[in-house]
């Protein structure tokens, strides 16, 4: 069952030891705005998935982060979540992974729920086995099958 949170209130997420961020709810509007972010659209077509994911995560985080705790400058002074600081925070691999797991993947899991049915086992679907590529491919028939008798 899909559970709706009608409050749509921001939530705190722990991203690392002593680091937590307050994030807007992951809504359709937020995802659509992120997809059309100039930095996301500027990613070249031949860019790898990892770089594309990083650009998208940073653009999403710049829109979603409202506040944070446990993030400071080089001298250890707390800093505000400005776009450059958000990008720098996501450049830290464990923080990026935690952000993806705690925030982004929840929206993607919901997206996958609607695609839960298995592919068709036969026919021209993605789930059909290509017999030409298996270890023991099917052999062609020796002759045509006879027509079934009528009546």
Nearest to residue 71, comparing CAs of 10, 121, 21, 132?
21
CA angle, 19 then 59 then 56, to 5°: 100
- Please tell me which residue, 66 or 139, carries the higher pLDDT value: 66
**pLDDT (tens digit per residue) in 45-98:** 899 988 999 999 999 999 999 999 999 999 999 999 999 999 999 999 999 999
């Amino acid at each position: 069952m899909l559970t709706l949170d009608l409050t749509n209130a921001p939530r705190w997420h722990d991203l690392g030891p002593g680091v937590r961020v307050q994030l807007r709810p992951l809504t359709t509007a937020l995802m659509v705005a992120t997809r059309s972010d100039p930095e996301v659209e500027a990613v070249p077509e031949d860019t790898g998935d990892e770089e594309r994911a990083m650009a998208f995560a940073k653009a999403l985080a710049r829109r979603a982060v409202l506040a944070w705790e446990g993030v400071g400058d080089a001298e250890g002074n707390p800093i505000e979540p400005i776009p450059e600081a958000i990008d720098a925070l996501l450049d830290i691999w464990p923080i990026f992974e935690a952000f993806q797991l705690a925030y982004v993947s929840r929206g993607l899991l919901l997206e996958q729920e609607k695609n839960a049915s298995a592919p068709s086992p036969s026919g021209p679907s993605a789930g059909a086995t290509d017999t030409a590529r298996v270890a023991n491919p099917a052999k062609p028939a020796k002759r045509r099958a006879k027509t079934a008798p009528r009546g």
